Structure 1
């Protein structure tokens, strides 16, 4: 879970930098100045882990409907974390107060299309990240040692099924804990 949290946080940072840089360029900022906040990493990481849980529960629904639920969760996370940061720091790092569609300066409702697009992309991005990380796991010394010792649990690395790849690291980590425990 920690590795997914870290990957999601970094992915969120990259997306935010691309979004704010593109927005600056559209406003004729020739340097296309982009920004994010250190606080955003844990916010993006935690929100994406929550999205994983919601995704598992909403799997029978069509993807556009799931994306609506994800969008609501994203807005909720942005509002809640902004409110919490405001209480802890005395201000929220992002301040949408001057914008027409802002809610308490913490979220912007006019960002709904951008968040919906992000929500639509969540599952393919998640599946890609999990597939890449499960493939990377095969190349670690720990995995090779476990494989040589014959202690890799059956089905630990699903072949070609990115949707199931999220269980890979968890199963492997649990197998290592069981192996190490007396």
Structure 2
């Protein structure tokens, strides 16, 4: 008779794992945004996207805090109001991290050339892009990241087939379940 080893139920990603995904997302978007800006401004077909290693910390932490806001606000106010709150938070975070990085001559951005800038660290011209980014972050990035799960179970489950000896012996294969696979020993 075959016995069945059932995997432990998947568990949500830890805060550091979510921070990592948010950091990589922000880093990638920063590179793509600067490449698109360079193309729109200079018609540079090389699309040279740039950023700083500080962007990993800045985006990862900012989006993790936006995630906390989302979880608190999602049933209390409409999405456009939430995105406005996220945008305001982004400006506060950008100003704060910019002021801190300037103390070490490490701030990688300078908006001094923009008409509506404040201390060269934030600019009103980016309000609409930050608002749109907030919408995308909530609807696609945060909601899908919160749905991700870590697999907790036997490491060999992906490489070991099951054997069904109750049906004439020797039949091998996999048993699918809602969140992964069951392994027959």
* TM band (smaller chain): 0.7 to 0.9
Unaligned runs of 5+ in 1: 149-158, 161-182
SS at match of 1:21: helix
Measure, in 1, the Cα distance between the counterparts of 2:106 and 2:56: 18
- Which 4+ residue blocks in structure 1 deviate beyond 3 angstroms? none
Distance change (3 Å), C-alpha of 1:16 and 1:81: same
SS at match of 1:94: coil
Q: Is the 8 A contact 2:51 2:108 kept in 1?
A: no
Q: Is the 8 A contact 2:114 2:125 kept in 1?
A: no
CA RMSD of superposed structures (Å): 1.9
More strand by share: 2
Bigger Rg, structure 1 or 2: 2
Q: TM-score, normalised by structure 1?
A: 0.72
- Does residue 120 in structure 1 map to residue 135 in structure 2? yes
Summarize the alignment of residues 156-171 of structure 1 with structure 2, pairs less than 5 Å apart: none
Q: Deviations over 1:126-160 (max 9, x none)?
A: 112233x31xx22xxxx1149x9xxxxxxxxxx89
Q: How many residues align?
A: 141
Q: TM-score, normalised by structure 2?
A: 0.71
More helix by share: 1
Unaligned runs of 5+ in 2: 1-14, 158-177, 180-185
The alpha-carbon deviation at position 49 of structure 1 amounts to 1.1
**Larger RCO (CA within 8 A; separation ≥ 6):** 2
